[in-house]
Amino acid sequence: MRRTYISPEFDYRRVFGTLNMSEQSTFFSSKMLEISDTIEIKNESVIYNQLSNGEQLNLESDLQLHQVIYDTTVDKNTNHTLILDKSQTDQELVGNTKWIMDIEVRNILRNYIFANMKKYRTFEGVLNSMTINNNVDSSVYEYIDKNVLSRYKFLRVELFIKSVNLLTTGGLRLKNTYDPTIENESTKFLKFQTETDANEFDIRLFFSQPESSSIRNFKYYYNLYFEKL
């Protein structure tokens, strides 16, 4: 019998390629997810079906299951804050009050891509047991982090503001409302400045309230735009 000279302390086993979510380039070619040239995160819902454990095995049978709905307006509400600009004077505070809005754009983009990968069943047939963390959803997010997010850059934010009369609505001063229904060409607000962190994980908007906060508060909403590098 021919000797193989393979050391007995080594054991070669086949494993699922889904244990490693990082795409590897080769000399001749490499596979990569086909992505859109632009992404517009506006007012929409992404609907998909899956098993309760996150697996997607068969479209026909999965359609009988409970739908999962990803709402961009809810996600954008969760991933932003609106606060008073502490650097403003007392006179500015009672007049055209200055505001700062922080938006976690990376989280929103990440969740949006995840929902669309689920919608188009990109990882259909992958079981939890075929992933490193025994969780398909965790592995999909890992794939997005390692292969997709770096292929997009933040392009711009679109802001909408609608003033509300405190006297007629009984609203509270300096209490503003996130409201997706105000999105309209007439409510588009252009007088703001943006500041983006080095990694484009977050953006910060600086703007002044269009009308005096002594008599009005406002409703607001925003959209996000990205483009492929």
Tell me, yes or no, whether 143 lies in a domain: yes
Q: Does 86 score more than 90 pLDDT?
A: yes
Highest mean pLDDT among 62-71, 153-162, 194-203: 153-162
Looking at residue 215, what DSSP letter applies?
Answer: T
Does the residue 29 lie in any domain? no
- Residue 24: inside a domain, yes or no? no
Reference 87, options 68, 102, 100; nearest CA is: 100
Phi, psi torsion values for 98, nearest 5 degrees:
-90, 140
Give, for 73, the enclosing helix (H) or strand (E): helix 72-78
- pLDDT at 4 exceeding the cut of 80: no
Residue 17 lies inside a defined structural domain of this protein: no
DSSP element (H, E) containing 101 = strand 98-103
**Mean pLDDT of the region 113-140:** 93
For the chain, what is the mean pLDDT? 89
Half-sphere exposure of 156 (CA within 13 A, CB side): 5
| Tally of domains within the chain | 1
Which of 7-11, 128-132, 202-206 has maximum average pLDDT?
Answer: 202-206
- Would you place residue 83 in the very low, low, confident or very high pLDDT band (cuts 50, 70, 90)? very high
For 214, the domain range is 36-228
The pTM for the full model equals: 0.87
> Is 124 contained in some domain?
yes
Q: Look at residue 133 and tell me if it is in a domain.
A: yes
User: Which two structure tokens, joined as six digits, stand for 208?
Assistant: 């002044």
CA–CA separation, 214 and 218 (whole Å) = 12
Residue 166 lies in a domain: yes
